[in-house]
Structure 1
Amino acid sequence: MSRDELIKKMAEAAGITQKAAALALNAMLDGITQSLKKEEKVSLVGFGSFNVAHRKARNGINPKTKKPLKIPARKVPVFKPGKQLKEAVKAGKKK
């Protein structure tokens, strides 16, 4: 599903305009992004949680040249699905 399709679905479900749905989606995504920048955890009960993981620096190999290289430490966003989301996806797989 694309962003535009999600906005249309939100607008239909909430009985609002697509413009209002786009504003709501952008506000939600911005709120999650700002919280993760501050390394705060964002929990949406039943859906899942977003947080920041710290990856340590490590050694790697360039696949083209086979030369070793250093991969720097970094922070990455992580999403952990909630129980309801896991169950909904699992139930969707059944034929």
Structure 2
Amino acid sequence: MNKSELVKALADAHNLTQEEAKDMVNTFFDSIKDALEQGDRVEIRGFGSFKIKHYEGYKGRNPKTGEVVDVQPKRLPFFRAGKGLKEHLNK
């Protein structure tokens, strides 16, 4: 399922226009992104949680040329599935 399919499913399920459903989906995702950007953890009970993992910089190697390169520190999103989602998928 992609974002436009999610918008359509929300619109159909709750008798909304496509534009209203699109605004709701965008607000939902923007809220998650904003919370993660501020360093907060986002937990949706029964579904899962999102958090940011911090990775330190390190010396890497280009596998093609063998050249040593500096890999910059980074923050990456991490999702952990909740118990309810796991149980739903494994019933």
TM-score norm. by structure 1 comes to: 0.87
Question: How do residues 29-44 of structure 1 correspond to structure 2 at under 5 angstroms?
Answer: 29-44=29-44
Q: 3-state SS of the aligned residue for 2:6?
A: helix
Q: Which runs of 4+ in 1 moved over 4 A?
A: none
Would you say how many aligned residue pairs link Structure 1 and Structure 2? 91
Corresponding position of 1:19 = 19
Q: Which moved more, 1:79-88 or 1:39-48?
A: 79-88
Q: Where does structure 1 lack aligned partners over 5 or more consecutive residues?
A: none
Residue 73 of structure 2 corresponds to 73
- Residue aligning to 2:3: 3
Q: String of CA shifts for 1:6-29, please: whole Å, max 9, x gaps.
A: 111111122222211100000001
Query: 2: CA distance between counterparts of 1:87 and 1:61?
Result: 41
SS at match of 2:46: coil
Partner amino acid for 2:51? N
TM-score (norm 2): 0.90
Q: CA deviation at 1:80?
A: 0.9
List runs of 5+ in structure 2 lacking aligned partners: none
**Matched-pair identity in %:** 35
